[in-house]
Amino acid sequence: MVSVAPLAAGPIALDRQVEALAPPLQQPRVVPSAYQAVHYLREGDTLGAIAARYQVSLEALVLANRLEQGDALALGQALRVPRVPGIPHVVAEGETVFDLAARFGVPYEAITAFPPNRIDASGGLQAGSEIFIPREHLVLPEAWLRAIGGMEGLAMRGPAPAALVAAGPANMRAGPGTEYERVGQVTAGRQVALLGRHSDWVRIEHGGLRAWIRSDLLQLTAEQLAAIPLTTDFPAPPARWVWPTRGRITSGFGPRWGGFHNGIDIANRAGTPIVAARSGRVLEAGWCRGYGYCVRLSHAGGIETIYGHLLTRPVVTVGEEVNAGQLLGHMGSTYDRRGGGYSTGVHLHFTVLINGRAMNPLRFLP
């Protein structure tokens, strides 16, 4: 007779069997961020010191925060510190991983296999999302780097008074005024360093370029504007040309009536104001040979201007300094027959001489 061992009694043995067959529970794998830390800029911080603290290259820190676009650094600004060298990129509509691999010169797998990018097996990208392109060889724009003093100057850059450009593209000028040459433009939303102010203009730095911008084009409160130090460190305004009067050109520069007309004639009503076309000094004012009542001005660079056929005696005197646009007299039709002058009606005869040689005024007038 065969004996049969009795079955194990109770539910405890069954629970143990099921427990042995089930796989152990696992926690979901945490995908790390592309950035090891976020550093908030404090007084005294420099990019070089921050890079050394987190053991990343200066190029990696700059490109991770797109600082190569020229924006200023501000107190409290957040800087992302990357885990590996690379470049963040916001995906555009229709872009593929193949496109980005070719554009940035990296293998396809460098993008898809980087865990923070969370790219599935299909390699699909979502427009508007940011991914990180791991890349060992990072290059900063040469012109920008040169403008800020090379890698040494870059390492020393830190937070400073700054403001956002409120409207753009905004003109950047060589001095505090519209008469100064435009040296560049800056778009809305860019952050610029505030270096000084004069009147309602602010001296700024952006992308290594130092220039002036109107204060109303910056996001500044009245208190912030008042805190910017005053400065007179800017060049004198450049010579400016303005039209000497309003009217219609009735005779141009060049051959006329068998002779040579050494200026232009501008006709209008008697009494129309005549103004200095450029700042200068009065050489002659009164009755002039050939012109009747006239004014002759001397300007920098060997330039003279002549304003002929005024209605009455000029309102300026010899030796007086005048500004561009300052009233000299009024349009008329006076002339000096004995001096060879002639007038066919009310107009201004306007001549420009450079080192004594007549030049076409239209080359200079705005």
- For residues 120 and 221, state if they share a domain: no
Instruction: Specify the number of domains making up the chain.
Output: 3
The pLDDT of residue 8 is 47
Give domain status of residue 243, yes or no. Answer: no
> 190: domain CATH number?
2.30.30.40
- For residues 195 and 263, state if they share a domain: no
User: CA 317, CA 282: separation in Å to the nearest integer?
Assistant: 7
The pLDDT of residue 7 is 45
The pLDDT of residue 341 is 66
Please report the sign of the dihedral spanned by the C-alpha atoms of residue 313, residue 318, residue 320, residue 325.
positive
Taking only the tens place, the pLDDT of each residue in 212-239 is 999 999 999 999 999 999 999 888 877 7
- Count Cβ neighbours within 10 Å for each residue of 279-313 and write b for 16 or more, e otherwise: bbebebbeebebbbbbbbbebeeebbbbbbbbbee
- For residues 315 and 252, state if they share a domain: yes
- Nearest 5°: phi and psi at 296? -125, 125
The pLDDT of residue 236 is 81
> 139: domain CATH number?
3.10.350.10
The pLDDT of residue 339 is 60
- For residues 128 and 54, state if they share a domain: yes
- For residues 59 and 120, state if they share a domain: yes
Taking only the tens place, the pLDDT of each residue in 275-313 is 999 989 999 999 998 899 999 999 988 899 999 999 999
- For residues 186 and 128, state if they share a domain: no
Residues forming beta bridges with residue 264, ordered by sequence position: 350
Give domain status of residue 7, yes or no. Answer: no
Give domain status of residue 8, yes or no. Answer: no
Give domain status of residue 194, yes or no. Answer: yes
The pLDDT of residue 31 is 63
Q: Would the pTM of this model clear 0.75, i.e. be above it?
A: no
Could you say which residues of the chain have pLDDT below 70?
A: 1-31, 339-341
- For residues 195 and 261, state if they share a domain: no
Give domain status of residue 285, yes or no. Answer: yes
Give domain status of residue 5, yes or no. Answer: no
Q: Which amino acid is at 332?
A: G
- For residues 191 and 253, state if they share a domain: no
- For residues 130 and 68, state if they share a domain: yes
The pLDDT of residue 27 is 57
3-state secondary structure the chain: CCCCCCCCCCCHHHHHHHHHHCCCCCCCCCCCCCEEEEEECCCCCCHHHHHHHHCCCHHHHHHHCCHHHCCCCCCCCEEEEECCCEEEEECCCCCCHHHHHHHHCCCHHHHHCCHHHCCCCCCCCCCCCEEEEECCCCCCCHHHHHHCCHHHHHHCCCCCCEEEECCCCEEEECCCCCCCCEEEEECCCCEEEEEEEECCEEEEEECCEEEEEEHHHECCCHHHHHHCCECCCCCCCCCCCCCCCCCEEEECCEEECCEEECCEEEECCCCCEEECCCCEEEEEEEEECCCEEEEEEEECCCEEEEEEEECCCCCCCCCCEECCCCEEEEEECCCCCCCCCCCCCCEEEEEEEECCEEECHHHCCC
Domain around 341: 248-363
Taking only the tens place, the pLDDT of each residue in 65-83 is 999 999 999 999 999 999 9
Give domain status of residue 23, yes or no. Answer: no
Please report the sign of the dihedral spanned by the C-alpha atoms of residue 121, residue 123, residue 127, residue 133.
positive
Residue 366: Cβ-neighbour burial (10 angstroms; 0-12, 13-18, 19+): exposed
